[in-house]
Amino acid sequence: MAEKISSDLMLRRISIIALPALPFMSSPLGFVEKHNRGLRKIHHLSFPEKTSINDYISEEAAYVKYTSFEEQIEQITLARPISARQLPTLSNTEIDDLNFSTALKVSFAGFLRTKEITYEPKDIKNRPVFEHTKLQRRDITFADNDEHAIVFLRSSKSDKEHQGVEIVLARTGAPSCPVIALKSLFKLDPQSPRSPLLRTAKGAFSRHFYISTLRSRLRNASHEDFKRFSGHSPRRGATQQAADFGMPNEDIQRLGRWSSDAFKGYFDYSYTHKYYLSHRFLTGRSM
* C-alpha to C-alpha distance for 30 and 120, rounded to whole angstroms: 33
Residues of the chain with CATH 1.10.443.10: 70-272
DSSP output for 19-45: PPPSS-----EEEEE-TTS-EEEEE-T
Cis amide prior to 23 (ω within 30 degrees)? yes
CATH code: domain 70-272 is: 1.10.443.10
- C-alpha distances (whole Å) from 251 to each of 35, 113, 235, 259, 263 are 30, 18, 15, 12, 11
Chain centroid, CA 161 distance in Å: 16
- DSSP annotation of 193 reads T
* Phi, psi values for residue 243, rounded to 5°: -65, -40
Task: Write down the pLDDT at residue 74.
Answer: 46
Average pLDDT on 93-120 reads 92
Query: At residue 194, does pLDDT exceed 70?
Result: yes
Report which listed range, 32-36, 180-184, 239-243, is most confident: 180-184
Give the β-pairing of 39-43 and 29-33: antiparallel
Between 174 and 28, the more confident residue is 174
% of the chain surpassing 70 pLDDT: 84
pLDDT digits (tens, 9 = 90+) for 27-57: 788 888 777 777 777 878 787 777 777 776 6
Write down the mean pLDDT value for the chain: 83
- Among 13-22, 62-71, 235-244, where is mean pLDDT lowest? 62-71
